[in-house]
Homo-oligomer: A and B are copies of this chain.
Amino acid sequence: MKHESFHESAEMYLKTASELAGENTPTPIAALAGRLGVSAVSATEMVHRLQEQGLLAHQPYRGISLTAAGQQLADEVVRRHRLWECFLYERLGLPWHEVHDHACRLEHATTPAVTEALDAFLGHPAACPHGNPIDGQAGEPAERLLSELPVGGTAVLVRVHPESEGLLCYLAELDLLPGRRITLREIAPYQGPMVLQTDVGVRYIGREAAAHVHIRLLTEEPA
Contacts and interface: CB of A to CB of B under 8 A. Distances in A.
Interface of A: 88, 91-94, 98, 101-102, 105-106, 108-111, 113-114, 117-118, 120-121
A105 B101 CA distance: 17
CB-based closest 3 A-B pairs: A92-B117, A109-B109, A105-B109
- Kindly report how many copies of this chain are found in the complex they form together: 2
24 contacts: A88-B114, A91-B121, A92-B114, A92-B117, A92-B118, A92-B120, A92-B121, A93-B121, A94-B113, A94-B114, A94-B117, A98-B113, A101-B111, A102-B111, A102-B113, A102-B114, A105-B109, A105-B110, A105-B111, A106-B106, A106-B109, A106-B114, A108-B109, A109-B109
Nearest to A8: B109
A190 to B, nearest CB: 39
A94 B114 CA distance: 8
A93 to B, nearest CB: 6
Nearest to A119: B92
A119 to B, nearest CB: 10
A108 B114 CA distance: 16
Contacts of A101: 111
Contacts of A91: 121
A86 to B, nearest CB: 13
Contacts of A92: 114, 117-118, 120-121
Contacts of A93: 117, 121
Q: Which of A109, A111, A118 has the most CB of B within 10 A?
A: A109
Contacts of A106: 106, 109-110, 114
B105 A117 contact: no
Contacts of A117: 88, 92-94
Contacts of A98: 113
A121 B106 CA distance: 17
A167 to B, nearest CB: 19
A165 to B, nearest CB: 12
